[in-house]
Structure 1
Amino acid sequence: MTEESTGSQAGEGWSRRGALRLGGGAALAALGLAAGVSPASAAVPSGRRFDLTKPSYDLFRHKQLHDVTVQQSFSFDNVNRRLFVAQLRGGQDGKLGNLCITRLDFSGNRLGWMHLNGFGHGVSFAAQGVGGDTYLWTEVEANSNGYGRRLARFKWVNGATLSASSSALTKYTPVSGATEHTCAIDPINNRLLVRYHKDGAKHLALYSISSAQSGNFGSPLARVRQPSIPGTMQGYTVYGPYAYFMVGNAYSAGNPSPGNTYLSTVNLNTGKIVQGPTFTKAGSTLTFREPEGMAVYRTAAGEPRLFLGFASGSAGDRRSNLFYKNALV
């Protein structure tokens, strides 16, 4: 089922307040003064990208997670065909960085959970299949704002609770001097995209999974400053030489259906936006509908898909919803 017509360009739902939520770079964009972006390195082979104007289709709607809060992000283990969703833990101060990770099947049925104490906000994470196991890459060591200073890699263990100081973690500091790190995975090309905050701006660095796992962050395949994208950042992911971003807010009196969710594509070899911001109505009939998370997956038949996540439902009973795009250009 699709709920999305061809996307319109930025304009609907844009607000100066939303732009300022992203900090200095987005504020410049709001004033027509977008900062220049230049890559430090550019060695990612060219490839096709998802067409953001094409329809979106349902994977599932209105599925319960282990906790009752909104989902923050999600990731696929493409080797073992597994899906994981991150939330902040209910009834706790978000600045503590306490997360819940739920494992679902592709129909949205719950299969397991983990608790992570002191990790971060759950902005984005990566699921890496290794043989029959899944290893998660997450932010860790929550700062005073509740966002992770570093990255951690650890094995998924159903029902386990890990602290930020657990010996089960392998920790990394990809960029010295960065105050926040998150990541996303390209499971098709076995690459890890690291998004980090340094010198008052967000940056992107792309690595092979093997290099990242060995702690070799000195020579990224590409490194760019994230271009200004107006709106409230709600998710990002990577496929080939392109990073994808989603911005928007939950439905409200000031943001009624079909909302203000926009998608953008950034070329990691140039740091430039190559498509978007493009308006999406995916899941527009959902109640509450807050954009939350992006991920890439390739089906067993070989079809790449760009997934978009949305939270729905009422307070105290938020639900997970996943949609995907599959048209490449």
Structure 2
Amino acid sequence: MSALDESNSRINRRTLLKAGGAAAVGLGATVLGATPASASVPVSMRFVLGGTGGNPIWKRSLHANWVLQSFGYDSVNEQIYFLQHNSTNTNAEYYGDIWVTRTDLAGNETGSMALHGFGHGVSVAVEPYNGKVYLWTETLGAGTTNENFYGTRMGRFEFINGAVFEANDSRIQDRTPTISDVVRNPQPVIDPSTNRLLVRYSNGTQRRIVAFNLSDARAGRLADANRLVERALPDPVATHQGFAAYGSFAYLLEGGTNSASYLRTIDLNDVGSSVVETFETTAGQSLPTREPEGMGIWLAPEPRLCFGFESNTGGVRQASVFYKDQLVW
């Protein structure tokens, strides 16, 4: 295995975020787009990007020999859900097809599901709820090529092992935000420490992020009045490959194939395109055709910021996952 990035600092990782599910304060009457941020959320600890961590999954094959795009943790049932995209497809009939692979925490497959015409699989939110598991993804994909075929809406649906869903399946609940901004290519994640849904989207001129209480989002309440916080995202230093959220911070993964990969921290309560930290990670540097793909929060029971890499060994595509587990105020 490749060496992990480490530092000598020692943080008390048991001092966890206390404000799980806390409501936003000071929402007020901010007009979306008039200012860079609309509200604030309770301040939390943040992950040390150069801190210690681990590598629970190393070069594991998923259900299809397709490219890993994103993943999300179900810490309640100790499962991971991976999304894969067929990057070699040239048949328009199969643009936007995604395989979902469910695994245990070591990357052993426990189930799968096919999604037809959904999009690129850039992000997935995993929601264990009332004894079932629901996935939130982009859906109703559109585009002129396989590689620019992205979801135009955001949907919530139950994971059903062995099922095949079309993008217009009646079992998909449309949960596209209805804020008074243009919402293009919505990409969801869930912060399990606060029960918030966060959505990265484009308004046509910039990338932004907006957060809601998961209970509101689940019920379809995704309007301006339900917003907890909303802000611009910084310009990427490399290709965007995933994001996650924990408390009052969001984390970005950026990089390309066989090139530098970066972890970045942004403060959800900050404004403009500000960045708390940018860190070049060498995790997985020995992987052939190493490309960063996906982020997620794993409560294990201590919180871990997870980030993934896709690799290709002689045509065999595999997934690896690393994490950071140090927190600081």
Same fold (TM over 0.5): yes
Aligned to 1:156: 159
* 2:171 maps to amino acid: A
Aligned to 1:238: 245
Unmatched runs of 5 consecutive residues or more in structure 2: 8-32
CA-CA distance at 1:37 after TM superposition:
10
CA RMSD of aligned residues (A): 2.0
Deviation digits for residues 145-199 of structure 1, max 9, x if unmatched? 3111111000010010000110111012204632211111101211111011113
C-alpha separation in 2, matches of 1:191 and 1:220: 11
Aligned to 2:199: 194
**Please, which of 82, 85, 90 is the counterpart of residue 82 of structure 2?**
85
Mark the CA change 1:178 to 1:304 in structure 2 (over 3 Å): closer, same or farther: same
Match of 2:216, SS state, is helix
Aligned to 2:14: none
Match of 2:46, SS state, is coil
CA-CA distance at 1:273 after TM superposition:
3.8
Do the aligned partners of 1:113 and 1:158 also contact (CA within 8 Å) in 2?
yes
CA-CA distance at 1:277 after TM superposition:
1.7
Aligned to 2:265: 265
Do the aligned partners of 1:88 and 1:100 also contact (CA within 8 Å) in 2?
yes
Match of 1:217, SS state, is coil
C-alpha separation in 2, matches of 1:179 and 1:5: 35
* 1:248 maps to amino acid: G
* 2:128 maps to amino acid: G
**Please, which of 46, 50, 55 is the counterpart of residue 53 of structure 1?**
50
The reply on whether 1:39 has 2:50 as its aligned counterpart is no
C-alpha separation in 1, matches of 2:299 and 2:35: 31
CA-CA distance at 1:215 after TM superposition:
1.2
* 2:163 maps to amino acid: A
Question: Which runs of structure 2 are paired with 1:1-329 in the superposition (5 Å)?
Answer: 3-6=3-6, 38-89=35-86, 91-93=88-90, 96-144=95-143, 145-175=148-178, 177-218=182-223, 219-251=226-258, 259-271=259-271, 273-299=274-300, 302-314=301-313, 316-329=315-328
Aligned to 1:12: none
Query: Larger deviation: 145-154 or 313-322?
Result: 313-322
* 2:277 maps to amino acid: G
TM-score (normalised: structure 2): 0.84
C-alpha separation in 2, matches of 1:206 and 1:240: 11
CA-CA distance at 1:285 after TM superposition:
1.6
Unmatched runs of 5 consecutive residues or more in structure 1: 8-35, 252-258
Do the aligned partners of 1:94 and 1:146 also contact (CA within 8 Å) in 2?
no
Do the aligned partners of 1:3 and 1:57 also contact (CA within 8 Å) in 2?
no
Count of paired positions: 292
Match of 1:221, SS state, is strand
CA-CA distance at 1:76 after TM superposition:
0.8
C-alpha separation in 2, matches of 1:199 and 1:213: 26
